[in-house]
Amino acid sequence: MYARRRRRYFALMAVCLTLFVGAWSVVRFWSVPVAVGMCVVAMVIPPVAAIVGNKREPDDSWWDEDDDPAR
């Protein structure tokens, strides 16, 4: 369960870095507005990646859950 979330997080962050580096190393030679747009998209990805990386899945047990029904 944690590996799945970690993979999603790192995949989103890899897309973010690819967009940012690609925007200013390649795309800016053809179109600066497109490069700026790619950076704006890359700017939105890290908060989304943090949300996806911390999203609770149905099979996760968290700190506020207790498996002991006697309590």
Share of the chain above pLDDT 70, in %: 79
Share of the chain above pLDDT 90, in %: 59
User: Per-domain residue ranges for the chain?
Assistant: 2-54
- For residue 71, give every residue at least 6 positions away whose Cβ sits within 8 Å of its Cβ, in sequence order, or none: none
The pLDDT tens digits for 18-49 are 999 999 999 999 999 999 999 999 999 999 99
Query: Against a cut of 0.85, is the pTM above it?
Result: no
Query: Residue 64 pLDDT > 70, yes or no?
Result: no
Higher pLDDT, residue 16 or 62 = 16
Give the span between the Cα atoms of 15 and 42, in whole angstroms.
8
